[in-house]
Structure 1
C-alpha cells in the first residue's frame, strides 16, 4: 500500500478498536508513528486520539498515549479535546483514563463547552460523577450563558439534575444570556418530570421572564405542552394572561404555532377571552392564525367564539390579514425561540 494511503486504514483500525492490528502497523520508534501523532482527519481536524475516545476504545486510547506519546490535550479545529469526545459519548473508562493522564477537566471547546456540559447532554450519570469527582465545575457557563444544570434540564434528565443539586445546590439559579432559566427550557421542550422536580427543589419566581418577556407558561403553551401548563398553574402560580414584551398573551403565541389543544385549554377551561387584543396593532388570535395560514386553528378559534369581523388597529379583519399586509417582525418575534447551544 502506498505511503500516502496508510492513514485511512489506521483510522479505521482505531474506530473499530483493533488494537492487535494497530500494533502490527505501528511501532513507537518508527517514522510512521511519528507522523501519526500529528495526522489530522476530516474538516474538524481530529486526531486518532479523538477517534479512540469517541468510539470508547480505552485500550486503543492507552496505546496511543502511552506507547506513541500522543498528547491527551491535543485539540481539533473546534478546540475539542479527546476528553470532550469521551464525555459526550458516555465512555466512562476513557474519561477516567484521560483525567488520570492529566487531561484538564474543565477544558473548553468552541462556544465554551466543557466536558461536563457535554456529558450532561446524555443520561450517563457515572460519567458526570467521574468528572465532578475530578474537580469539574458545575457552575461554568458556555457562550450562551448555559451551565450544565441548564443543559440537563433541556435534555430531560431528572436523575442528573438531582445529582447536580446535591453536589452544587446553587446550580439551578442561573440564566442564559437572554435571561432564560432552566425552567423556561424544560417547559419549552416538554420535560414534565424535570419541570416537576424544578418546582419541588428550586426557587424560581412565578412567571419569570426572558428578554422577550416570555414566561415558562408561555413556553409550555406555544409548544403544545398542556400538561406542563397545568402544572405551572397549580404549583407555580403562573398567570395565563401574562403579557410578553410585545403585549401578546399565551393565547396569541399559541395561535402563531397552531397549538389548537392549548388554545381550547386557555379559552374553554381557563376562561381567557378568545378576542383579546395584542400589541400596539390590536391583533387578535384570529389575526395571528390567519397570518400564518393555519386553517385548522382558524376553525378552532371560530368554534370558540372568535369574532370573524374583529378589526385590528388598521381596520383589517382576521381573515383578510395576509402576509402582505401584516407586520412580519411581530409574527417572527412571537415564534418559539430555540436555545443557542
Structure 2
C-alpha cells in the first residue's frame, strides 16, 4: 500500500469520479486491495476536505422514475445525518415525489422525532396534502405515535384542521390507531366522510371501545349520526375485537358502550330505526330490531319507519318493515305510508289485505 501514501495515486480516482465513470472507478478502487477501500473512500482532498462523493457533483435534487429525491429516501430511512447534509446542500424541504408525498410525510411514517424536527426547523409545511388529500398530520395519526402528533401540533396549532378528498379528518384515522390524538383538537365528533363514516364508527369497527366511549360520553356523539352507505350504524357495526382480530357481535358492542338504540335526535325526533328506514338501509333495520329498537316508534309528525321507507321509495326496506309487523297506519296528518308514493303501493296493499 506504499502507493496509497503517495497523493499522486489519488489523481486517477479523482479524474474518474469527475468524469462520472463509476464502473472504472469501482474497479480502480478494488484493485488497490480490500484493506485500502475504506482509506480511499474516506480520503479528504485539498483545503475543502471533499471526499470522492463530493467530487461526483451529484445534484441533491436528482430524482428517480417516481420523482423521489434523496431527501425523501433519507427521511423514510430515518437517517438524520443524511437529512442534515442534504438540507445543508440546498435540498428543497417540500419537494414532491409521485402522488405528491413530501419528505415530511415520509418521515411521519417512521416516527423518528429527530428527523421530523430537522425537517420542521427547515420550514417543512405541515399543511401540504398528497394526491389523496392526506397531510403529514393525517399520516402521523394513522401511524399512532402521540409524540409525533404532539410535535406537529406544537409546530402548527392548526395542523389538525384538514380533510382528505373523501372528507376524512385525522380524527377518523386516529380512531383506528391512536387513542389520544383526536381528543386534543377541535373536531366535530359526528363529522362524516363522503361515505357517511364518522370517527365513532371507525373506532367501533376496529374494536377501540375506549375511544368510542370517550366520543359518546365526553363529546356526546349521537348513534343516529353514524349511518353509512353500507347500511350500518355505528352501534350496529361489526368490528374486530381484541388482539386476535375475532369479530364481536353488535349486541356485545352496544351493551359495552351503553348505547341507547332508541335515542332521539334533531327536531323531528328521529331514532336510528327511523333514520335507517329513511335511507333504505334494510340490514340496519334488522340489526336494530335485534338490538331492541322500538319498531312502532313515531317521529314528531307521527310518522313510522314505514312512512320513512315509503317516502324514499325503498321497496326492500318497506318489505322488511312489513315482515317485522309494521302496519299501514296514518301519521298525525292522517297520511298513510300507502299514500306517499306509488312505487311501493302494491307491496303495502298486499299486506293490508292479508
TM-score (norm 1): 0.64
| Structure 2: gaps (5+ residues) | 1-8, 24-40, 44-49, 263-271, 294-315, 325-354
Task: Kindly provide the CA deviation profile for residues 247-287 of structure 1, in whole angstroms up to 9, marking residues without a partner as x.
Answer: 641134327998425541214632326x9473554523596
- Report the CA distance between 1:166 and its aligned residue: 1.1
Shift of 1:31: 7.4
| Residue in structure 2 matched with residue 234 of structure 1 by the alignment | 217
Q: Structure 1 residue 124 and structure 2 residue 106: aligned?
A: no
Q: By how many angstroms is 1:160 displaced?
A: 1.1
- After TM superposition, the structure 1 stretch with the greater mean CA deviation from structure 2, 168-177 or 247-256, is 247-256
Specify whether residues 63 and 314 from structure 1 end up closer, same or farther in structure 2 by C-alpha distance, changes over 3 A only: farther
Residue of structure 1 in register with 2:66 after alignment: 78
1:260–1:111 CA distance, 2 compared to 1 (3 A): same
1:271 equivalent among 236, 260, 267: 260
Partner of 1:215: 198
- Return the match for 2:128 from 130, 135, 140: 140
Higher relative contact order (CA 8 A, sep 6+): 1
Aligned-residue Cα RMSD (Å) equals 3.8
In the alignment, is the contact (CA less than 8 A) between 2:207 and 2:239 conserved in 1?
no
For residues 255 and 171 of structure 1, do their structure 2 counterparts lie closer, same or farther at Cα, with a shift above 3 Å needed? closer
Max Rg structure: 2
| 1:66-105 superposed Cα distances (whole Å, 9 cap, x missing partner) | 1221221110110001110110111100100111111111
Q: Check 1:64–1:251 CA distance in 2 against 1; reply closer, same or farther (3 A cut).
A: farther
- Give 1:171's aligned residue: 159
Using the alignment, how far apart are the partners of 1:315 and 1:232 within structure 2? 31
The SS at the match of 1:236 is coil
Scaled by the length of structure 2, the TM-score of the pair is: 0.62
Q: CA 1:270/1:134 → structure 2, altered by over 3 Å: closer, same or farther?
A: same
Structure 2: distance between partners of 1:282 and 1:104: 50
Q: 1:290-309 maps to which residues of 2 (within 5 A)?
A: none
Q: Deviations over 1:216-270 (max 9, x none)?
A: 0011112222121112112221112324354641134327998425541214632
Structure 1 gap ranges (5+): 1-22, 38-57, 289-300, 319-341
Cα distance in 2 for partners of 1:87, 1:220 equals: 30
Cα 1:219–1:251 change in 2 (3 A) is same
Which region of structure 1 is more displaced relative to structure 2, 220-229 or 145-154?
A: 220-229
- Deviation per CA, 1:169-196: give whole Å up to 9, x if none: 1111000011100001111x232133xx
Aligned pairs, how many? 254
Pair 1:251 & 2:239 matched: no
Pick from 131, 138, 160 the counterpart of residue 148 of structure 2.
160
**Partners of 1:65 and 1:72 within 8 A in 2:** no
Structure 1's consecutive aligned runs of 4 or more residues displaced over 6 angstroms after TM superposition are: 255-258
Q: Which residue of 2 aligns with 1:181?
A: 169
Contact residue 199 and residue 236 of structure 1 kept, 8 A: no
Matches within 5 A, 1:194-213: 194=181, 198-200=182-184, 202-213=185-196
Residue of structure 2 equivalent to 1:284? 283
Which string of whole-angstrom CA distances, capped at 9 and with x for unpartnered residues, describes residues 31-63 of structure 1?
7961449xxxxxxxxxxxxxxxxxxxx979x85
CA contact (8 A) 1:73 1:104 kept: yes
Which residues in structure 2 correspond to 1:25-64 (within 5 Å)?
27-30=13-16, 34-36=20-22, 63=51
Q: How many angstroms does 1:305 deviate by?
A: 6.6
Q: Deviations over 1:92-135 (max 9, x none)?
A: 00100111111111110001000011101122111011111111
